[in-house]
Structure 1
Amino acid sequence: MEEVRYTLVERAAGISDAVKQLCSQPVIGLDTETTGLDPHRSKLRLIQAAVPGQVFVFDCFKLSRDSLNPFLELLITPQPLKIAHNAKFDAKFLRKHCGINLNGIFDTYLSSLLISAGDENHRHGLEPVVNRYLGLQLNKAAQLSDWSGELSAYQLDYAAKDAALLLPLRERLNALLDEMDLLITAGIEFECVMPIAAMELAGVYLDAERWREMVARIRTVHERVSAELQKELAEGARQMDLFGASHSINLDSPAQVKDALSRLGIELEDTREWRLQKQAKEHPVLQKLLEHRGLSKSLSAYGEGMLEFINPATGRIHADFRQIGTPTGRITSSSPSLQQIPHTTEYRSCFRAPEGRKLVVADYSQIEMRILADFSNDQALLEAFDSGADLHRATASQMFGIPLNEVTSLQREHAKGLNYGLVYGMGAEGLAGRIDAGVKAAEMLIEKYFQAYAGVAKWLEDAADRAVQERQCRTASGRLWRFHLDPADPQQQAALRRVGKNAPIQGTASDIFKRAMTMLDQALPEHDSRIVNSIHDELVVECPESVSDQVKNIVVSLMVGAAKEFLQRVPVTVEAVVSDAWLKK
């Protein structure tokens, strides 16, 4: 790569000239260097801003916040466009240390993810992206150097190059986004960078004492269930032992558990969860084994280790939210994985609002079924939503040709299994396991369902056919997922058909959700409120107790408004509650 010309700005006198040159350009490359990865415990050292032929490197250790104001004002306006790679990182440090919200973002990291369209073989750090799209080799060794002391010429040159590269990189990626009809999707993603950065910065409050008490209770139950299970499983081994000797079973060993069950007369191919569930009603010991495994998972995944994620600087958990966590665009989180927290009251009641504040917990009601109704234009399903009746009861009524008030609880359960399962491409075997029925009975129910919702049946079949023929699918915004599967292979074709049915629906739900986050991020600050958690179709907003009802109404209104941008035929409902904890009641 050619040498990059840069100007190190260490005095207030140099800022006005830099801002003048930056303002004259439609786009600027933007990067930051920091003393660490945590904005709450690390410092912002450099801000680099690049225009063609020149990079300005602002040293935040030597410039006061006031002197930086003219430059920072440039960053909060939509123009010029700011190109950043993983802009969420830069946005968090700029918000924490400069008090600004970055505006007018083009994120080359998110662009690369969108262009890769679900290809898991592609990496998306700046180094591989620059190599893939510009054919250049980057040396990122300086990234790990010490940015807290006097900076070397090597460090400054590295910092300047990173910002300068973003200009040609954006040109290449923008052309590809345009060529692949991804500009609308990219716009949704770019607008959502700041809301997600703000959500990470805000974090969520976990009551550590409540959590410890809960873990202690679970550990006590786990020990009791383990002892009972040992006793029952050892009974079979003792019967086979001429001397009646005591036997201890390693409950974490599938082979030992399978052998112990066999001695009790319970023959299983393996001890996977779905096999145990199939026979749990006949054999209570299998139900106990499932309970033991659930408790073991709780202790390992959600035990006292969760407390290690509490940031000592804030007393809150700041998870890492991956904006495009799946090819359908769903947001995922890690460190910790908040979407994996069990839905039970004992877990979620530990995530709370601080004193004087409340949580508004809001989620879209049956959003994927509503998207399916809109896409398929199925009149019967649209009427079910328009009527405001219980969807599963209305579905059962359609399937069995009976009035709503005559639908039995079993018929409603069957309809519910179909409504949720078929959206995910579930077949007769999957439905049979879900509703505890035979495969033949499940096949008959699916047939009745598709007779009742003929428009849904046609749309799902067409979507599956299209996925096989084109090896790709799109969401309402145009988000693309390309499939790297062989349609000639029967198993892979079946997988393709399943994904082809669900991905456009789930991906559109992601599009809607991100629009809602963007709209809320703009509306909530004036009410001293903020998004603190995001799980699939659910948002958690923290607000002052005094305005909690008002904030709830704003959340519902904007979430519904976001959905209406994508769905024209079906009403959308958002269920929201005001609570002291992360609970829906």
Structure 2
Amino acid sequence: MIKTEEELRKAVDSLNAQSAIGLDTETTELDPYTGRLRLIQLAAPDGVSIIDLDAFSNGGNGELANNQALLPLKRLLEAPRPIKIAHNAKFDAKFLKHNLGADLGGVFDSLLASQLISAGDIEERHGLETVATRYLNESVDKSERLSNWSFELSQAQLEYAARDAAILLPLREKLIDRLKAEALVKCALLEFECVMPVADIELAGFYMHKDRWLEQLAIVEKRRAELAEELQGILAEESLQGSLFGGTQRADINLDSHQQLTQALERLGIPVPDSTRNWKLQPLAAQYPVIATLLEYRTVQKALTSYGQNLIELINPATGRLHADFRQIGAPTGRFSCTNPNIQQVPHATEYRRCFSGYPTGRKLVIADYSQIELRILAEFSGDPGFMAAFNSGADLHRVTAAQVFNVPLDQVSKDQRDFAKRLNFGVVYGIGAQRFSMMTGLSAPEAENVLRKYFATYRGLDNYLREAANRAVHDRQARTASGRLVRFRYDENDRQQISMTQRNGKNTPIQGTSADILKRALRLLKDELSNTSARIVNIIHDEIVVEADGDQAKEISQKVERAMCAAGEEYLKTVPVKVETEIADEWIK
């Protein structure tokens, strides 16, 4: 237990001689803005140093960053060596940054390592107790985890704190063996280097104008009521029994019930597909206005239930901002996911996005996104001459595709034809077949089949690559991204539907996963590029990065962001140019 400057100096000197140390923290809350950093545990093979920060702060964390006695500790934490092994390192990194001003360096995250090794198995759990049992056959007692860390600590609490840090040393050795065996070392480094940038994003938060949001909610609530009434007027049955005073009475249906909705639509003579999911109903919207109304109702309903008042309740009282939780490996492909709130999926409509801005006044948003990155990755992987030529010449790929599919001159391609080709190009990335494409476009099955046949006759290199990727996924039961990220496929050989799903995932995983690799590399490069500027990354959405900066620096920051994002893409794409589009705005609008 370390409580003096001299004890800390000696411990840090000893720890600096190690190649790797275990790191854990104990805090009074889960939120760095409302909680206090109480303990830092640093484990070496010969024992665990537990630093009691109350001894250096008089019970408050406010002045820790300026406490000269903690400078050796801060340098140790920031240095690339020794390696700091932590389980869910992002959590510790946020508290260390907020309280000590330390950017955690040289990270090995055993949680991320375990997730990589699981290769997309969404059933597998990765808590420290589970991972320690899996790889070390040791149990970890977490009974003290929820105890009170604010006051005098018990011996049981101290032993718990020490064990959590100590177990990370042997755990890392086992995980390294598995990472090497599965050829995941390069991907693991990519993930570990992304920990601190993600911690920074969560600490920065995103500013949302509460009053604007409430105004928008009122409009959406009113629209939902109007749409619900309109739908019930069309879909509800009239009761034959009538009311108490004679006449008929309307029997409303549950608009969220697949069964009731199907029956009501069939009564109107509408050919309902086997599912009332949006993408299956979409082709019917042009022919049947009630379907268009239903789809709009669902859009506003989702906006209200997914976001609505929830967002206001999640504004942090200490900062006045939304601090979402970004999960680094949120999908088998390596894509991020986001919760509390999911600001990745705020509706695209201007009315919603205008509620988010730089803050305070004078701050701007730099909104940067990769242009057609998944199609560029597909061009790189397939080497298709048509795709390569379009990207290398700077031509509009969707316009080129439309000209081929509709057999018209390039300069005569209409907007509708280009939009059709765009859906076709992106549909191919996601491995869609004729049935799904016909649902998306309203084409008959033979027409959709014919369009796809013509498409792949035009882009033969694409066709060959995607066929090989699909067959390889079924044969090898796995796929990899450009960083070496591994995704295993589990399917029943006698189930044609599962085989078809595996083929589709085999086509999409390397493309979507490489896009995620590129974004993560960009975040690491931006961490360095934006240091010592007014800029902070406030949101990430698959191929988009939103940065907040002072207005007078926004143009310079925009150039830095574009440079870093292009550099990240060019590490993976060697024969296809990477294009990043940036915009400077007051609000999150493009």
Partner of 2:104: helix, strand, or coil? coil
Separation in structure 1 between the aligned mates of residue 280 and residue 470 of structure 2, nearest angstrom: 29
Deviations 1:498-543 (A, max 9, x none): 0000000111001100000011111113221111101111100000
Task: Give the corresponding residue for 1:287.
Answer: 292
Task: Give the corresponding residue for 1:344.
Answer: 349
The answer to whether 1:439 aligns with 2:441 is: no
Separation in structure 2 between the aligned mates of residue 260 and residue 467 of structure 1, nearest angstrom: 42
The answer to whether 1:318 aligns with 2:323 is: yes
- TM-score, length of structure 1 as denominator length: 0.95
Taking structure 1 as reference, are residues 291 and 238 closer, same or farther at Cα in structure 2, changes over 3 Å only? Answer: farther
Partner of 1:142: helix, strand, or coil? coil
The correspondence of residues 90-489 of structure 1 with structure 2, limited to 5 A, is: 90-234=92-236, 237=238, 244-252=247-255, 253-266=257-270, 268=272, 271-354=276-359, 355-400=361-406, 402-489=408-495
Separation in structure 2 between the aligned mates of residue 200 and residue 85 of structure 1, nearest angstrom: 18
Q: Is the 8 A contact 1:385 1:391 kept in 2?
A: yes
Task: Give the corresponding residue for 1:574.
Answer: 580
Task: Give the corresponding residue for 1:527.
Answer: 533
Aligned residue-pair number: 576
Taking structure 1 as reference, are residues 473 and 22 closer, same or farther at Cα in structure 2, changes over 3 Å only? Answer: same
Equivalent of residue 25 in structure 1, options 18, 22, 36: 18
Gaps of 5+ in 1: 1-7
Separation in structure 1 between the aligned mates of residue 276 and residue 334 of structure 2, nearest angstrom: 34
Equivalent of residue 69 in structure 1, options 68, 71, 75: 71
Q: Is the 8 A contact 1:249 1:256 kept in 2?
A: no
Deviations 1:237-291 (A, max 9, x none): 3699796412141343444444444444446366443443343333222222222
Taking structure 1 as reference, are residues 490 and 536 closer, same or farther at Cα in structure 2, changes over 3 Å only? Answer: same
Equivalent of residue 514 in structure 1, options 520, 524, 534: 520
Q: Is the 8 A contact 1:487 1:496 kept in 2?
A: no
Following superposition, the deviation at residue 356 of structure 1 comes to: 1.4
- TM-score, length of structure 2 as denominator length: 0.95
Gaps of 5+ in 2: 58-66
Task: Give the corresponding residue for 2:63.
Answer: none
Separation in structure 2 between the aligned mates of residue 321 and residue 13 of structure 1, nearest angstrom: 38
Taking structure 1 as reference, are residues 434 and 274 closer, same or farther at Cα in structure 2, changes over 3 Å only? Answer: closer
Separation in structure 2 between the aligned mates of residue 264 and residue 172 of structure 1, nearest angstrom: 63
Task: Give the corresponding residue for 2:6.
Answer: 13
Partner of 1:525: helix, strand, or coil? coil
Partner of 1:147: helix, strand, or coil? coil
Taking structure 1 as reference, are residues 257 and 411 closer, same or farther at Cα in structure 2, changes over 3 Å only? Answer: closer
Task: Give the corresponding residue for 2:64.
Answer: none
Taking structure 1 as reference, are residues 459 and 353 closer, same or farther at Cα in structure 2, changes over 3 Å only? Answer: same
Partner of 2:432: helix, strand, or coil? coil
Following superposition, the deviation at residue 429 of structure 1 comes to: 1.1
Separation in structure 2 between the aligned mates of residue 328 and residue 270 of structure 1, nearest angstrom: 27
Counterpart residue identity of residue 237, structure 1: E
Following superposition, the deviation at residue 12 of structure 1 comes to: 1.1
Following superposition, the deviation at residue 330 of structure 1 comes to: 0.4
Counterpart residue identity of residue 304, structure 1: Q
The answer to whether 1:43 aligns with 2:45 is: no
Separation in structure 2 between the aligned mates of residue 58 and residue 382 of structure 1, nearest angstrom: 57
Partner of 1:146: helix, strand, or coil? coil
Following superposition, the deviation at residue 418 of structure 1 comes to: 1.6
Task: Give the corresponding residue for 2:551.
Answer: 545
Q: Is the 8 A contact 2:241 2:248 kept in 1?
A: no
Superposed CA RMSD:
1.7
Separation in structure 2 between the aligned mates of residue 410 and residue 444 of structure 1, nearest angstrom: 19
Counterpart residue identity of residue 152, structure 1: S
Q: Is the 8 A contact 1:432 1:438 kept in 2?
A: yes
Counterpart residue identity of residue 325, structure 2: D
Taking structure 1 as reference, are residues 289 and 209 closer, same or farther at Cα in structure 2, changes over 3 Å only? Answer: same
Counterpart residue identity of residue 253, structure 2: N
Partner of 1:359: helix, strand, or coil? strand
Taking structure 1 as reference, are residues 452 and 256 closer, same or farther at Cα in structure 2, changes over 3 Å only? Answer: closer
Q: Is the 8 A contact 1:240 1:263 kept in 2?
A: no
Partner of 1:151: helix, strand, or coil? coil
Equivalent of residue 54 in structure 1, options 47, 54, 63: 47
Separation in structure 1 between the aligned mates of residue 208 and residue 75 of structure 2, nearest angstrom: 35
Separation in structure 2 between the aligned mates of residue 368 and residue 275 of structure 1, nearest angstrom: 24
Counterpart residue identity of residue 219, structure 1: E
Separation in structure 1 between the aligned mates of residue 443 and residue 453 of structure 2, nearest angstrom: 15
Partner of 2:572: helix, strand, or coil? coil
Q: Is the 8 A contact 1:358 1:578 kept in 2?
A: yes
Partner of 1:143: helix, strand, or coil? coil
Counterpart residue identity of residue 441, structure 1: E
Deviations 1:56-113 (A, max 9, x none): 1000010253211112111111011111110000000000000110000011000000
Separation in structure 2 between the aligned mates of residue 401 and residue 257 of structure 1, nearest angstrom: 41
Following superposition, the deviation at residue 368 of structure 1 comes to: 0.3
Taking structure 1 as reference, are residues 457 and 78 closer, same or farther at Cα in structure 2, changes over 3 Å only? Answer: same
Separation in structure 2 between the aligned mates of residue 412 and residue 515 of structure 1, nearest angstrom: 32
Counterpart residue identity of residue 61, structure 1: D
Q: Is the 8 A contact 1:111 1:177 kept in 2?
A: yes
Counterpart residue identity of residue 504, structure 2: R
Q: Is the 8 A contact 2:324 2:341 kept in 1?
A: yes
Q: Is the 8 A contact 2:239 2:251 kept in 1?
A: no
Separation in structure 1 between the aligned mates of residue 267 and residue 454 of structure 2, nearest angstrom: 43
Q: Is the 8 A contact 2:240 2:248 kept in 1?
A: no
Task: Give the corresponding residue for 2:571.
Answer: 565
Deviations 1:321-351 (A, max 9, x none): 0000011110110011112211111111101
Separation in structure 1 between the aligned mates of residue 408 and residue 301 of structure 2, nearest angstrom: 45
Counterpart residue identity of residue 133, structure 2: N
Taking structure 1 as reference, are residues 154 and 25 closer, same or farther at Cα in structure 2, changes over 3 Å only? Answer: same
Separation in structure 2 between the aligned mates of residue 542 and residue 85 of structure 1, nearest angstrom: 30
Separation in structure 1 between the aligned mates of residue 520 and residue 465 of structure 2, nearest angstrom: 25
